[in-house]
Amino acid sequence: MINIRNGAFETNSSSVHSLVIRKDSWFDNDIDDKYYTVKGGYYGRCPQIPLESTQEKLDYIWTMVNGLFGQHCIDWKNKIYEYVDITRFEKWKQMIFEICPHAELEEIDPEGCDVWIDHVYELEAFADAVESDPRILRYFLLSYSWIDISGDEYANWADILPYPWGEIVEINNHTLLYVKGN
């Protein structure tokens, strides 16, 4: 194996998304009464971009839900998939509406799709963890939490390499971290 990037493993198509989730107990019963139009977005290879607002995080989550469980093109080859798990798709819609009851979740058209997450399947463990403990989604959407989205050449490796990828870890008493990488 030839490593051309200092301190990083080499891949051909990759992105690193770090989801940082602030645990704030006062969000346990808080509901966001704002109106959101949730369209999804494009989360592929790019310089490091933080997504911090509830709107931005909703778009990311909706893109994830469609990529993992719904009819959506999920990779750079624009493959189109039929609904793979309508039960989970509907469960996620319900979880979003419980936190943001006025969200309008727009259908994502898989034809000519430009709404996707690079290697979305690496978010399956995150989706499983949220389904096991829906408070994680509430913390993520409503507290000071963020996602750093980048291609591996832009990632801040010193910050993420000490943590396991593909699982939620508690990095201190108030913060959870999920690193999606490939």
Q: What is the pLDDT of residues 17-48, one digit of tens each?
A: 888 998 876 565 678 899 999 999 888 777 77
Asked whether the beta carbons of 121 and 74 are under 8 A apart, the reply is yes
Strand order in the sheet with 146-151: 49-51, 146-151, 15-22, 175-180, 168-172
Question: Given this model, what pLDDT does residue 9 score?
Answer: 45
Number of residues written out for the chain: 182
Across the range 105-121, mean pLDDT stands at: 79
CA dist 166 and 2 (Å) reads: 24
* CA 165 – CA 20 distance, rounded (Å): 13
Residue written as tokens 């799709």?
A: 113
Q: What is the pLDDT of residue 148?
A: 85
What pLDDT is stored for residue 78 in this prediction? 53
Residues above pLDDT 70, as percent of the chain: 76
> What residues form DSSP beta bridges with 179?
18
**Mean pLDDT rounded to a whole number for the chain:** 81
Q: If you average pLDDT over residues 108-137, what whole number do you get?
A: 86
Closest CA to 55 of 22, 32, 72, 74: 32
pLDDT of res. 5: 40
**Cβ(166)–Cβ(179) under 8 Å?**
yes
Domain segments of the chain as ranges:
25-174
Q: Give residue 180's pLDDT.
A: 86
Q: What is the pLDDT of residue 132?
A: 96
Q: Of 61-65, 77-81, 117-121, which range is least confident?
A: 77-81
pLDDT at 172: 84
Q: What is the mean pLDDT of residues 62-71?
A: 88
Tell me the two tokens of residue 160.
């993420």
pLDDT attached to residue 46: 75
Collapsing DSSP to helix, strand or coil, 168 comes out as strand
Q: Quick check: 10 pLDDT over 50? A: no
Residue 179 pLDDT level (bands cut at 50, 70, 90):
confident
- Mean pLDDT (whole number) for 57-84: 76
Determine how β-strand 116-117 pairs with β-strand 42-43: parallel
Beta strands in the chain (DSSP E): 15-22, 36-38, 42-43, 49-51, 103-105, 116-117, 146-151, 168-172, 175-180
Q: What per-residue confidence (pLDDT) applies to 11?
A: 47
Q: Which residues pair with 19 in a beta bridge?
A: 147, 178
Rounded Cα distance, 57 and 89, in Å: 17
